[in-house]
């Protein structure tokens, strides 16, 4: 499914289910559900979550900073020859990577930064950094689209937010899993329990086709109807 469909369906169904179950729907829980609805696609650099977070204008700024750094290194001779030349060539090479590859590099470096500098702030940053680095090497619909990925994200949320109540980690875990269920409706499906070859696949649509777009729109409408059924009586009351 497309990112916008995941966002609407997973977030909408999650807050509806929480309300029906009597679990408080806080603003933080809604944010957790919204982010988690897109998070499984973090293994795809051009996904909605990654492309919005690491937008092309932001990447252009990063490229400019890297090129300025090259000029500074060569001008000041910071590391001495031949290191200055080698570092400059490496930085220029990275700066002109295709957008997809550059996003992966930035994700990798953010993960490294979280491991090096975030561990002293909160131990969970170490785990988050490791997961981010791993995601840069995963194929799309790989580990992040499994029960293991769902469990890891739910555990991370639980460990960092349980003291605030149960709403946030439940919202995040449910929304994440709903993303996987939505992808199981496609012709490709999802392999929930690798290395088992079993794949959850209903083969009802193909993403990016006219039939697929219509099917996604139907799912969105059904989600909006569910939201109306759950929340309109509360608003009118």
At residue 127, does pLDDT exceed 90? Answer: no
CA atoms within 13 A on the CB side of 119: 9
Q: Using pLDDT thresholds of 50, 70 and 90, give the confidence band for residue 134.
A: confident
Q: Report the percent of the chain where pLDDT is more than 70.
A: 97
pLDDT score at 141: 81
pLDDT in tens, 178-201: 999 999 999 989 999 999 999 999
Enumerate the β-bridge partners of residue 205.
186
At residue 128, does pLDDT exceed 70? Answer: yes
Locate 168 and state its tokens: 């946030």
Q: Using pLDDT thresholds of 50, 70 and 90, give the confidence band for residue 233.
A: confident
pLDDT in tens, 81-109: 888 899 999 999 999 999 999 999 999 99
* Mean of pLDDT values over 136-164: 91
Q: What pTM did the predictor assign?
A: 0.88
Enumerate the β-bridge partners of residue 190.
200
Whole-angstrom Cα distance, residue 167 to residue 28?
8
At residue 119, does pLDDT exceed 80? Answer: no
Whole-angstrom Cα distance, residue 179 to residue 114?
26
Q: Using pLDDT thresholds of 50, 70 and 90, give the confidence band for residue 19.
A: very high
Q: Dihedral sign, CA of 161, 165, 170, 175?
A: negative
pLDDT in tens, 20-34: 999 999 999 999 999
Crossing angle for the helix pair 56-76 and 83-95, to the nearest 10 degrees: 170
Whole-angstrom Cα distance, residue 110 to residue 176?
22
Residue among 199, 179, 223 nearest 34 (CA): 179
pLDDT score at 151: 96
Residue among 44, 26, 97 nearest 66 (CA): 97
pLDDT score at 140: 79
pLDDT score at 24: 95
With contact defined as beta carbons under 8 Å apart, do 10 and 33 qualify? yes
Q: Of the ranges 15-19, 40-44, 74-78, 173-177, which one carries the lowest mean pLDDT score?
A: 74-78
Cα R_g (the chain), whole angstroms: 21
| Cβ count near 104 (within 10 Å) | 19
């Amino acid at each position: 499914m497309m990112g916008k469909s995941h966002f609407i369906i997973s977030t909408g169904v999650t807050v509806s289910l929480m309300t029906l179950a009597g679990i408080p729907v806080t603003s933080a829980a809604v944010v957790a559900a919204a982010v988690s609805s897109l998070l499984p696609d973090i293994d795809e650099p051009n996904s909605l979550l990654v492309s919005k977070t690491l937008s092309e204008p932001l990447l252009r700024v990063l490229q400019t900073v890297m090129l300025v750094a090259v000029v500074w290194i060569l001008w000041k001779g910071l590391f001495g020859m031949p290191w200055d030349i080698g570092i400059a060539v490496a930085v220029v090479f990275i700066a002109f990577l295709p957008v997809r590859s550059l996003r992966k590099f930035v994700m990798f470096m953010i993960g490294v930064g979280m491991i090096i500098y975030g561990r002293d702030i909160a131990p969970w940053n170490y785990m988050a950094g490791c997961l981010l680095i791993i995601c840069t090497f995963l194929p799309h619909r790989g580990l992040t689209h499994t029960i293991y990925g769902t469990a890891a994200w739910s555990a991370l949320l639980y460990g960092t937010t349980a003291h605030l109540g149960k709403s946030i980690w439940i919202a995040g875990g449910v929304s994440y899993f709903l993303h996987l269920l939505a992808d199981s409706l496609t012709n490709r499906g999802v392999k929930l329990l690798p290395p088992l070859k079993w794949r959850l696949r209903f083969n009802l649509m193909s993403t990016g086709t006219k039939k697929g777009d219509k099917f996604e729109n139907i799912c969105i409408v059904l989600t909006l109807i569910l939201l109306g059924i759950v929340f309109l009586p509360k608003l009118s009351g």
